[in-house]
Amino acid sequence: MANASHRAPAASLLYRRQRRRERWEKTGYFMASFGMLLVIWETSRALGIINPLLFPSVGAVLESCVAQLRDGSLQTHMYASFMRVLVSFTIGIVLAVVCGFLIGWFRVVRMLLDPVINFFRSLPPIALIPLMIIFFGIGETSKIVVLSYAAFFPALVVIYQALVSLEPIYIRAGKALGASNLEIFRRIILPQLVPHIITACRVSLGVCWATLVAAELIAAQRGIGAMMVEAQNFFQMPPLVLGILLIGAISLVMDAIVRLIERRATAWQEKMP
């Protein structure tokens, strides 16, 4: 008993050290990857591979960032874009989860709607912008609709395909043991769907941010896309490149948050190292 009581803290300490080492390793690779991009950036300008007149230096982009932070415009643009993506992403995911379950669980609904889904998911959200302007005007509604559309269909396909691919033996076993439909959903279906829902969230987030600039072309006064369009009109390259970097950075942070939720929600799953 004494040996067992000593082994438990030792194992816990070893696990914490291993986790700490893994975090430091990931941080190192993260810094190295972006450091490599910065070196390529500056080296390409120095060697003339990229025209220095057309593409700004890292220092010029940082100066633009500091200047806009001081006058408060950058915070305004970032907040506007973040809220548009967050609201649209939430709407798209909620609708995708509900519709995905209905389509995946009920065969008649799936047979009826599958051709329509395949038709609409192949349409780029950008193609809907003129129609959304006619329907909803140039206000926030048209932007939210376009971004929600962008988030909805990728998540819908992932979720309902995951539901269709579930092993039926688990459901039959639950019914044989007398489980109700609610218990089957809560104890069998939902735990297996959670990883796929998280994947759908990550895919939808990426599509939302990819569509953001086009959505903010709809007469937006605030937002990263609006900042980039203004910089393009006045041929101001540092703010334009800054907008590209900000979209990538914010989407990276949001993706990291989703992945953290995934690790907590799917801790029971065995994963590749």
The answer to whether 222 and 77 are in contact (CB under 8 A) is: yes
- Determine the pLDDT at residue 71: 92
* pLDDT band (50, 70, 90) for residue 1: very low
- Determine the pLDDT at residue 8: 53
The string of pLDDT tens digits covering residues 21-40 is 877 888 888 888 888 988 89
Q: Which two tokens stand for residue 263?
A: 């690790």
Rounded average pLDDT over 46-75: 89
Tell whether the model's pLDDT for residue 138 goes beyond 70: yes
CATH 3.30.465.10 describes domain 61-265: no
Rounded average pLDDT over 9-32: 75
Neighbouring C-beta atoms of residue 139, cutoff 10 Å: 12
The most confident of 109-113, 172-176, 179-183, by mean pLDDT: 109-113
The string of pLDDT tens digits covering residues 193-209 is 888 888 899 999 989 98
The string of pLDDT tens digits covering residues 214-259 is 888 776 788 998 899 888 888 889 999 999 999 989 988 988 888 8
How far, in Å, are 58, 128, 153, 216, 236 from residue 61 at the CA level?
Answer: 5, 33, 35, 22, 10
Burial degree of 100 (CB within 10 A; 0-12, 13-18, 19+)? buried
- Determine the pLDDT at residue 268: 57
pTM of the entire predicted model: 0.80
Give domain limits for the chain. Answer: 1-55, 61-265
Rounded average pLDDT over 3-28: 69
